Structure 1
Amino acid sequence: MIAVHCGAGSHSTKHHVKYNKLCSKACRAGMEVIKAGGSALEAVRAAVIILENDPLSNAGYGSNLTVEGRVECDASVMNGDNLLFGGCGSVPKVKNPVALAYEICQKQLVEQPSGLVAPSLLVGSGALKHARSKSLKIVKNKDLVSPKAERQMRKYLGIVNVKLDTVGAVCVDSTGCVASACSSGGLLLKSPGRVGQAALYGCGVWADSWAKKSEDSVAVSTTGCGEHLVQTQLAKEISDDLKNCSCPVTALYSSMTNKFINSRYLHRIKEKNAGALAVHVSKTGEGTVLWGHSTESMSVGYMRISDAKPKTLISTFSSDERVKIGSTVTVGGNNFYLSESSSDASMELQA
């Protein structure tokens, strides 16, 4: 199972078809890796690269610009089987930040000389230098700036904290290993050097299939206001709650409500914007792909190995007048089986 998201926020109805097509393309890229015998970590990297390359998303090409008109990106990955994490923050000129995060994660498997410890997070010029050492594609800043990003910068000059979405992916491969990834251009008109949740441990991604024969496995990728996701370490909180639950859908709802909407760390915040994409696999191989958000909408796609094509949707709140964006959560999901990938039981929960 591979699942992707194009962020939680407010997705214009005129672009719904474009978002669905992009999610479908990303799912297919990830599934090609799985069908070729690749790992879950390689699959989420492949899926997120597709999302980064499309100017519709706020990641890689087309990212939000800093107040200086530059693209500085954050990204991270986590491998559930060995629990290794790799992240990069405020990195310029790297075409695909998720590929850099992947290289940082993988380097930790290589024994370092003189007992040195390989980094799990690199930022700024150090991250760029590492990307060059791995022969990743480096481009000029102007090559990462889309016409849309330039228009938004001119429109919102003088306005702070304008938010757009992060992208991400979660996956479970044929061996039961889970992995997650996320990538973000950050807030529009952010300060140079700002690092958001997409780069930070426990905030943007989490994945744990360390003991998949005796414990449930979980992978999570978050999106929303980076500062609020950092303060609540939402990715790890959701994973912890999902690993010890009887119903993944209600567990995600409770986790986002109690650990985010009602978090003591966000007591000063009136409107709390977040989204999460997750995959939960039980010890018996029964799985659920899940999504939840407190924003107006969230763009999601997912694909099982048996599917002829991905399923895509724009998850939205109902028209219930009691629903308040930023202070309540809607959750959805779909069941699958790791061995058969044949179940198609959908479920929705909203409050």
Structure 2
Amino acid sequence: MTATRRSFLRFSFLSGIFATLTASSQSVLAAQKTNKPIVISTWEHGLAANKIAWQVLNNSGRALDAVEQGVRVPEADPNVRTVGYGGYPDSEGNVTLDACIMDENMNCGSVAYLQGIKHPISVARKVMEETPHVMLVGQGAQDFALQQGFDIQDLLTPQAKKDWQDWRASGQGKKQINIENHDTIGMLALDSQGNLSGACTTSGAAYKLPGRVGDSPIIGAGLYVDNEVGGATATGMGELMMKTVGCHLVVELMRQGASPQEACKKAVERIATRLDNFAEFQVGFIALNKAGEYGAYCIQPGFNYAVQDSNGTRLNDGKNLLGEVL
């Protein structure tokens, strides 16, 4: 073997070792910089939801279990008027629920126009794990839930029924949606293994037309998770998220290099530029990336989101478009 050949092989060997050590060092550094575990969710009722999710995450649990258990809290709380039990009914007085869930492997499940089942998020997970489908709706979703052992119960609380009766008596029948009555809970979690999952659940817009389904059970619109990049979930007027596939847009913006905060802002601006009267609506996004960085942005002031990680729990105000343009 020539000296030149030996030198080349020695150089290649040393270069390989250096590359391996460098990659290993970068991996360790990245792991050190990642803020995990962490859970974020929409609105003040996310604080109680995060508390339960954090119990899962803090015990090295899976992000998927954390988001399911977390959003079950507002689903069962009659004082949360826009999610699950106690949620506002449609214009005919029926409480109809929508939900979806998505894990780190792009598995997802969804239910829409589901009636009589307190925890649609758990039915959505069963759809994901027990069927070849992504979405079940209406009677089919309820039949499936019963087959899976869920019980039917009346979800229209006395207070929700009274509010509905007052609404009908007010003669505001044509006003189906406003900026206050659709405070979905969406939740995103990054677990200690570095995996992401998300969940979204709602009773939808108050006094909506019977059969209306918004963005919350729609993968890509109300929720999207890509374990290579991050996740996003939305709240507000669902039709606008559906028209822009808003949560998928937020994740793709993060893939292109935007921070979670920047991605949420750009997605809101994308919606607003297509509406002459955008100030009449509310749209809000939260996002979480693989490094545990998070952000939020909305049209209207008043949107907040809850965060819990090793630094504790907090409720943050989302930055808003109207505050910047006025």
- Normalising by the residue count of structure 1, what TM-score does the alignment of the two structures yield? 0.74
Q: Is the 8 A contact 2:115 2:142 kept in 1?
A: yes
How many pairs align?
A: 282
Query: Are the structure 2 counterparts of residues 26 and 74 from structure 1 closer, same or farther at C-alpha, using a change threshold of 3 Å?
Result: same
Query: Superposition RMSD on alpha carbons, in Å?
Result: 2.3
Indicate the residue corresponding to 2:273 in structure 1: 262
Q: SS of the counterpart of 1:37?
A: coil
Q: Which of the two has higher C-alpha Rg?
A: 2
**1:204 and 2:222 are equivalent in the alignment:** yes
Q: Distance in 1 between matches of 2:186 and 2:156?
A: 19
Quote the Cα distance in structure 2 between the aligned partners of 1:102 and 1:147. Answer: 30
Q: Deviations over 1:75-95 (max 9, x none)?
A: 11111x211121110100010
- Relative to 1, partners in 2 of residues 1:276 and 1:270: Cα closer, same or farther, differing over 3 Å? closer
Q: Secondary structure at the match of 1:279?
A: strand
Aligned to 1:313: 316
Q: 1:137 to 1:125 in 2, by over 3 A?
A: same
Compared CA separation, residues 166 and 149, structure 1 to 2 (3 A): farther
Aligned to 1:3, the other structure's residue is in SS state strand
- Give the corresponding residue for 1:14: none
For structure 2, the residue ranges without an aligned partner over 5 or more in a row are: 1-37
Alignment of 1:198-237 (within 5 A): 198-209=216-227, 212=228, 217-237=229-249
Residue 139 of structure 1 corresponds to: 153
The change in CA–CA distance for 1:319 and 1:202 in structure 2 (over 3 A counts) is closer
SS of the aligned residue for 2:289 comes to: strand
* Aligned equivalents of 1:5, 1:47: Cα separation in 2: 12
Which residue is 2:75 aligned to?
Answer: 52
Asked whether the 8 Å contact 2:299–2:322 carries over to 1, the reply is no
Which of these residues, 176, 196, 215, is aligned with residue 161 of structure 1?
Answer: 176
- 2:262 corresponds to 1:250: yes
Quick check: which one's helix share is greater? Answer: 2
Q: Is 2:137 the counterpart of 1:126?
A: no
Please identify, of 166-175 and 249-258, the stretch whose mean Cα deviation from structure 2 is larger: 249-258
Identity of aligned residues (%): 23
**Structure-2 residue corresponding to 1:69:** 93
Q: Give the AA of the match of 1:29.
A: I
Residue 194 of structure 2 is matched in structure 1 by 176
Structure 2 distance, partners of 1:187, 1:246, is 31
- Match in the other structure for 2:280: 271
Measure how far apart 1:46 and its partner are. 1.0
1:144–1:42 distance in 2 versus 1, CA, 3 Å: farther
**In proportion to residue count, which structure has more strand?**
1
Q: Which of 40, 43, 47 is equivalent to 1:3?
A: 40
The 3 A distance-change label for structure 1 pair 246 and 238 is closer
In structure 1, what is the Cα distance between the partners aligned to 2:130 and 2:238? 26
Q: Is the 8 A contact 2:296 2:319 kept in 1?
A: no
Residues 4 and 47 of structure 1 are in contact (CA less than 8 Å); yes or no, is this contact kept in structure 2?
no
One-letter amino acid of the structure 2 residue matched with residue 71 of structure 1: V
Residues 53-62 or 92-101, more deviating: 53-62
Q: Distance between the aligned counterparts of 1:67 and 1:82, measured in 2? A: 38
Query: How many Å separate the matches in 2 of 1:48 and 1:300?
Result: 14
Q: What's the secondary structure of 2:140's corresponding residue?
A: helix
Deviation for aligned residue 1:42: 1.1
SS of aligned partner of 2:94: coil
Task: Please tell me whether the aligned partners of residues 190 and 292 of structure 2 are also in contact (alpha carbons under 8 angstroms).
Answer: no
Cα distance in 2 for partners of 1:249, 1:270 equals 20
Alignment partners' CA distance in 2, 1:254 and 1:316: 12
